[in-house]
Structure 1
Amino acid sequence: MALILFALIIVAALLAAIVALWRDPMWLVRGEFARQRRAAGLARGTVDAAGHRWVYAHRAAEKSDAPVVVMVHGFTGSKENWYPLARALGGRYRLLIPDLPGSGDSERKPDAVYGFVEQAERVVAFIDALSPDRPVVLLGHSMGGGIAALVAARWPARIAKVGLFNAAGVRFDDNPFGLDVLAGENPFAVEDAATLRRFVDTVFYDDAAKPWIPWPASAALIAKRRADAAFEQAVLDRIGRGEDSLLPGEEAARIRQPALLLWGKQDAVIGPSALRVYAARIPQARQVLLDGCGHMSIAERPREVADAVAAFCK
């Protein structure tokens, strides 16, 4: 009888999972993200700022006077990109990790613009809403790095320190990814299993760090990226080849705060020559170049990045 009851429970659970996947193909993906969030000790929050509803992950620090660290993800990314680093950092800092408006679980408006300048203004509003009395340490990855550079340059009173990781916003040495962007293409586009694999292989260098995305999660991700194709193209047109595409690097010369520049030596998206460009404009910046690491440094080498952040925040 016990075995029959156990079998019935298993069958019921499988049927429930099938129904959940049928109703919401991203259910498995969101479940995995929730597992990663809990493993990093993060909670989920929402806030209204700059005319958008934001969803963000957050964690209190072990000490009340610890720095507030805000982490800004990149193009096609989301708050979940930062979870490995958040876990590696432990409880040393108060963490605020948003989905940028237009991305992840945050609100997207059909008539809004989501380029460097617009997102920088929104990030300041997010900081004002959640850390109104304390300047923050602002870390940005990829497009988020370009946003962070603008925020640090334009609102210095709000930013105590700034970290630019594999940051966009400067003209770096030609590589296939950059040339495709300049030609009007989206080399990050995902349309099927082959392009999903190409995307993962482009942003990660170390095979051991590449995420395993089994079916049906892979099918759900492909469907979502296909649905987002027009939005992605509009954003990339602005940040990759628009009139503001190099603005973060130009305004980086105005950054006076302590700064951290961190790159993967094998970054196939924004090559390490970009680190040198930013370093020439932010001479006070610490420089960290991780060998054997690609574009997704924050997920590929989280412990080394955490060590660099900890040394920077002392």
Structure 2
Amino acid sequence: MAFPLVTRVTHRHLDVEGVRVFYRESLPERENAPVLLLLHGFPSSSHQYRRLIDALGSRYRLIAPDYPGFGQTEAPDDFVYSFDRLADITEGFVQKLGLERFSMYMFDFGAPVGFRLALRHPEWVAGLVVQNGNAYEAGLSEGARDFIALRPGQEDAVRGLLTLEGTRGQYEGGTGDVTAVAPDGWTLDQHYLDLPGRQDAQIALAFDYRSNVAQYGRWQEWLREHTPPALIVWGRDDMFFPEPGARAYLADLPDAELHLFDTGHFALEEKLAEIAPLVAGFLDRVG
């Protein structure tokens, strides 16, 4: 009986500007396999992509780093947390790996990081997989707008999202079958959130989120100018970035492939079996 290929995965660190970046990378069977850079969201880490890597990593080179302030990555005490700096470190990470052409999977915080990379290096981008990664005013729920409106002095409002209850709610909110969501994800995220200095880092990023909204116009212009191949997969019951945010991409990328799923923010947790084949087909087309 033929046994299915088991993905080989390596776990390493790479020093970038004094930040010890942790990343996980699949080792595909064939040379020159298409590359997919997996950009994680809040409050997660590269761990959120573990099942996708297992599903596709034997055919494609999947690379998932942890940002400063997340997961296993270690940043110096004086690191200044902003989305520009997250993009700086991710840019340096890509350059140190020697990547020249790849697709990006952009989820949640991965969208502002990925679009900053795209603006700086359009030649890098072979295609975009967008999963609940917003770039449009239409994709902001009332809750998201309230979050973006927070200002220094309202730290307690942010800390409410950084509790175990808040983290679990992000994973389970909007799901059709909560039993499909493994508790390991939100439990591990909370472990990292509770490490020394991590909540202060998240508060700084929360107050900087408005810098992303201010750049929406630039990102949309980039999409219209470069028209990258795009696959949009979206949990339509996302409490932060609802369905209109997915459909908004079609105004700038009318040829993009759009798939909506009856689930929430962390769509891969419940809908991996549906999303993974779409990602594979997309990489085959653009790879």
Normalised by the length of structure 1, the TM-score is 0.75
Larger radius of gyration, structure 1 or 2?
1
Corresponding residue for residue 286 of structure 1: 257
Deviates more, 1:80-89 or 1:168-177: 168-177
Deviation at 1:302, TM superposition (A): 1.4
Amino acid at match of 1:76: P
Amino acid at match of 2:73: S
CA contact (8 A) 2:231 2:256 kept: yes
| Structure 2 residue 88 is the aligned partner of structure 1 residue 127 | no
Corresponding residue for residue 164 of structure 1: 130
3-state SS, counterpart of residue 56 of structure 1: strand
- Distance of aligned partners of 1:249 and 1:162 in 2 relative to their CA distance in 1, 3 Å threshold: farther
Given candidates 189, 192, 203, the residue that maps to 2:161 is: 189
Corresponding residue for residue 143 of structure 2: 177
Amino acid at match of 2:81: Y
CA contact (8 A) 1:140 1:165 kept: yes
CA contact (8 A) 1:47 1:54 kept: yes
CA distance in structure 2 between the aligned counterparts of 1:205 and 1:130, rounded to whole angstroms: 39
Given candidates 29, 32, 42, the residue that maps to 1:62 is: 29
Corresponding residue for residue 229 of structure 1: 199
CA distance in structure 1 between the aligned counterparts of 2:125 and 2:73, rounded to whole angstroms: 23
Deviation at 1:174, TM superposition (A): 5.4
- What is the 5 A alignment of 1:200-279? 200-202=171-173, 204=175, 206-212=177-183, 221=191, 224=194, 228-239=198-209, 242-248=210-216, 250-255=218-223, 256=226, 257-279=228-250
Deviation at 1:124, TM superposition (A): 2.1
Corresponding residue for residue 41 of structure 1: 8
3-state SS, counterpart of residue 276 of structure 1: helix
Amino acid at match of 2:119: A
CA distance in structure 1 between the aligned counterparts of 2:234 and 2:41, rounded to whole angstroms: 14
CA distance in structure 2 between the aligned counterparts of 1:299 and 1:225, rounded to whole angstroms: 24
Amino acid at match of 1:175: S
Deviation at 1:170, TM superposition (A): 2.7
CA contact (8 A) 1:146 1:248 kept: no
CA distance in structure 2 between the aligned counterparts of 1:223 and 1:47, rounded to whole angstroms: 22
CA distance in structure 2 between the aligned counterparts of 1:301 and 1:187, rounded to whole angstroms: 29
- Percent sequence identity is 25
Amino acid at match of 1:112: F
Deviates more, 1:65-74 or 1:299-308: 299-308
3-state SS, counterpart of residue 63 of structure 1: coil
Given candidates 84, 93, 111, the residue that maps to 1:145 is: 111
Deviation at 1:78, TM superposition (A): 0.2
- Distance of aligned partners of 1:87 and 1:223 in 2 relative to their CA distance in 1, 3 Å threshold: closer
Deviates more, 1:121-130 or 1:224-233: 224-233
How well do the aligned residues superpose, as a CA RMSD in angstroms? Answer: 2.9
CA distance in structure 2 between the aligned counterparts of 1:244 and 1:190, rounded to whole angstroms: 21
CA contact (8 A) 1:139 1:163 kept: yes
Kindly provide the CA deviation profile for residues 50-100 of structure 1, in whole angstroms up to 9, marking residues without a partner as x. 442111001111110211111010122100011121122141101211111
3-state SS, counterpart of residue 183 of structure 2: coil
- Distance of aligned partners of 1:208 and 1:226 in 2 relative to their CA distance in 1, 3 Å threshold: farther
Kindly provide the CA deviation profile for residues 125-152 of structure 1, in whole angstroms up to 9, marking residues without a partner as x. 21111134x3111111111022212322
Corresponding residue for residue 64 of structure 2: 97
Structure 1, unaligned runs of 5 or more: 1-38
Task: Give the number of equivalent residue pairs.
Answer: 269
Corresponding residue for residue 154 of structure 1: 120
CA contact (8 A) 2:16 2:93 kept: yes
Amino acid at match of 1:171: E
CA distance in structure 1 between the aligned counterparts of 2:206 and 2:173, rounded to whole angstroms: 17
| Structure 2 residue 268 is the aligned partner of structure 1 residue 298 | yes
CA distance in structure 1 between the aligned counterparts of 2:189 and 2:32, rounded to whole angstroms: 44
CA contact (8 A) 2:11 2:25 kept: yes
3-state SS, counterpart of residue 173 of structure 2: helix
CA distance in structure 2 between the aligned counterparts of 1:219 and 1:143, rounded to whole angstroms: 15
